[in-house]
Amino acid sequence: MSRKLRSQSWFGGQGKNAFIHRSWMKNGGLPDDVFDGRPVIGICNTFSELTPCNAHFRGLAEHIKAGVLEAGGLPLEFPVFSCGESNLRPTAMLFRNLASMDVEEAIRGNPIDGVVLMAGCDKTTPSLLMGAASCDLPTILISGGPMLNGKFHGRDIGSGTDVFRFSDEVRAGTMSLDEFTAAERAMSRSPGHCMTMGTASTMASLSESLGVTLPGNAAFPAVDANRARLARLTGRRAVAMVNDDLRLSQILTRTAFANSIRMNGAIGGSTNAVIHLIAIAGRIGVDLTLEDWDRLGRDIPTIVNLMPSGQYLMEDFCYAGGIPAVMKEMADHLDLDALTVTGRSLGENIADAVNENPDVIRPRDRALVAHGGIAVLGGNLAPDGAVLKPSAATPELLQHHGKAVVFSSIEDFRARIDDPDLDVDKDSILVLQNCGPKGYPGMAEVGNMPLPQKLLKQGVRDMVRISDARMSGTAFGTVVLHTAPEAAAGGPLALVRDGDMITLDVAGRRLHLDVDDAELDARRVEWEPPPPAMNGGYQSLYVEHVLQADRGADLDFLVGCRGAAVPRESH
């Protein structure tokens, strides 16, 4: 290799500072020759026992290290903030940007030539890619893999999706608490992240379609030996990428993002992907908008038959052929010349892919939904956009006109939704305010509001719901999300009142509040922003600088690629 490795700015030469850097590293038993110019591969690990999806990463990291060593590199593992969706309050999304800062500064400030990103739970994938994109070193990602299918009463059950179903059945009185508890024990049978096509599986799938992982990464279960094999190959490939100086900016191109938007439609992916891909694109310098999401994904059929849109789970998807088989089926919609971390094109990566189960990965003439991409709505209730996932919605509700039942906060919603005197019927539209980036803060996954108990007992299982919040990728229903500007920023959602009529027209991409402008102006004069949830600390920094959902909800000062120039010497 003719060029000087970045790590040699720390370890190269015979001066005092090189002595200090090498000497301290040698207290772990490293021999002299590991500093002779071999690539240093940083292993960015989001392991945490508080993040159950990523709790098996200690073992996975050992396989990555073995691969790095086999390829002649020096693996050095480092921890970063782990955004665990299941436990972290008030919401993991509040800390996605904080974790990305951790990743970015850890990469830039340390003697690292290339990076392996270890992602799993929902926000760990975008946070790692956002931070790494702002540095632009040779980078490859590996996911921790999904759990095995849940098993309950002789059938498969899926994380998240069946939780929401079972919860509604308990509230409707058609499922006992004993059965609910038994399902709880049956759902999570192994290490790994959600095995539905929720946000974790979606982001793993889109990372593969972006070209930042090895082929097959998204679907191998966490406990499948192929996951360990892939980790070893990922370690080897990281060394080769450094040797070839193959950087993230060469892979995360506008073409790659366009491919991933189309793939999100094909897999029935999470609405959260909209925010995450826009944020990642902003870090690498690609202008990606909601209009791109609607235009590129609008005519894409959903062909992956997985919960919450369909029937199966990630374990079935893996053995049907995974993302390579889907890309092969959708090849005429993709730019197959896009470069990937393999050093080969997307088309070369999928050339030998086979669909082993056409009920899990359906041919396009048997698609679950003909137009499965994320629908981006406009109109006077969402001037900067809102999103809806057609593949998870009730078709009859995609054109709807109903009266608003308004909740000013999630606490207000929980206090009143099951009140038997609540003025609500099956045609009403539930509206939740102040749950966006600033309002919650952090834009929590509360947008798929549980239905009123009295309607559940009548057999109602879906209603139109509108909010500035997000919803879990495992959730389903006719749910309008990410309404921008959000209520806490003074958006029109803040002005909706009980009894207002709202029109949802998904085909026309329109979300309209049927209130005249003069009345809205009068309400706007009366409106006051909600008080902050916390004074000082990271939450105050977040609320002051967070962008709206249509711009990826990143912090304004984090957008852009700052590179990985070696900082000043520390001694």
Q: How far apart are CA 366 and CA 380, in angstroms?
A: 36
**Between vectors from CA 103 to CA 101 and to CA 104, what angle results, nearest 5°?**
65
Q: How far apart are CA 457 and CA 196, in angstroms?
A: 27
Residue 134 vs residues 173, 284, 343: alpha-carbon distances, Å: 51, 6, 21
Pairing of strands 114-119, 40-45: parallel
Beta bridge partners of 361: 304
Q: Which CATH superfamily is domain 38-149+189-364 in?
A: Response regulator (3.40.50.2300)
Q: Of 303, 455, 448, whose CA–CA distance to 388 is shortest?
A: 448
Q: How far apart are CA 503 and CA 482, in angstroms?
A: 17
pLDDT tens figures, 428-451 = 999 999 999 999 999 999 999 999
Domain layout of the chain by residue ranges: 38-149+189-364, 151-186, 375-536+540-549
Examine the pLDDT at 468 and tell me if it is beyond 80: yes
Q: Of 216, 222, 203, whose CA–CA distance to 354 is shortest?
A: 216
Question: What DSSP assignment string belongs to 227-253?
Answer: HHHHHHHHHHHHHHHHHHT--HHHHS-
Phi-psi region of 351 (alpha: psi -120 to 50; beta: other; left: phi over 0): alpha
pLDDT tens figures, 109-151 = 999 999 999 999 999 999 999 999 999 999 999 999 999 999 9
Fold agreement between 38-149+189-364 and 375-536+540-549: no
Examine the pLDDT at 2 and tell me if it is beyond 80: no
pLDDT of residue 567: 81
Is residue 142 within 8 Å of 218, Cβ to Cβ? no
Fold classification of 375-536+540-549 (topology level): Glucose Oxidase; domain 1 (3.50.30)
pLDDT of residue 534: 87
**Three-state helix/strand/coil letters over 380-447:** CCCCCCEEECHHHCCHHHCEEEEEEEEECCHHHHHHHCCCCCCCCCCCCEEEECCCCCCCCCCCCCCC
Task: Tell me the angle at which helices 177-187 and 161-172 cross, rounded to the nearest 10 degrees.
Answer: 170
Pairing of strands 40-45, 510-513: unpaired
Average pLDDT, stretch 521-547? 94
Alpha helix ranges (H) inside 479-547: 517-526, 537-545
Is residue 196 within 8 Å of 159, Cβ to Cβ? yes
Average pLDDT, stretch 24-42? 95
Compare 304 and 371 and report the one with higher pLDDT.
Answer: 304
Average pLDDT, stretch 442-471? 97
pLDDT of residue 522: 97
Which residues lie closer than 8 Å to 213 by C-beta, 6 or more apart? 140, 141, 142, 143, 204, 207, 234, 341
Task: Tell me the angle at which helices 199-210 and 322-329 cross, rounded to the nearest 10 degrees.
Answer: 60
List the structure tokens of 483: 């309404």
Is residue 57 within 8 Å of 144, Cβ to Cβ? yes
Mean pLDDT over each residue of the chain, to the nearest integer: 96
pLDDT of residue 372: 86
Residues making up the chain, counted from first to last: 571
List the structure tokens of 504: 């949802």
Examine the pLDDT at 558 and tell me if it is beyond 90: yes
Cis peptide before 485 (omega within 30 of 0): yes
Residue 104 vs residues 125, 128, 271, 517: alpha-carbon distances, Å: 14, 8, 25, 45
List the structure tokens of 128: 């790692």
pLDDT tens figures, 368-420 = 999 888 999 999 999 999 999 999 999 999 999 999 999 999 999 999 999 99
pLDDT of residue 240: 98
Q: How far apart are CA 258 and CA 275, in angstroms?
A: 14
Confidence of residue 1 (pLDDT cuts 50, 70, 90): low
Examine the pLDDT at 184 and tell me if it is beyond 80: yes
Confidence of residue 566 (pLDDT cuts 50, 70, 90): confident
pLDDT tens figures, 249-297 = 999 999 999 999 999 999 999 999 999 999 999 999 999 999 999 999 9
Question: What DSSP assignment string belongs to 67-80?
Answer: HHHHTT-EEEEEE-
pLDDT tens figures, 91-100 = 999 999 999 9
pLDDT tens figures, 330-352 = 999 999 999 999 999 999 999 99
Q: Of 56, 52, 121, whose CA–CA distance to 472 is shortest?
A: 121
pLDDT tens figures, 500-514 = 999 999 999 999 999
Amino acid identity of residue 117, one-letter, is L
pLDDT of residue 533: 83
pTM of this prediction exceeds 0.85: yes
For 118, the enclosing helix (H) or strand (E) is: strand 114-119
Q: Phi/psi at 116 (nearest 5 deg)? A: -110, 125
Examine the pLDDT at 64 and tell me if it is beyond 90: yes
Q: How far apart are CA 30 and CA 44, in angstroms?
A: 20
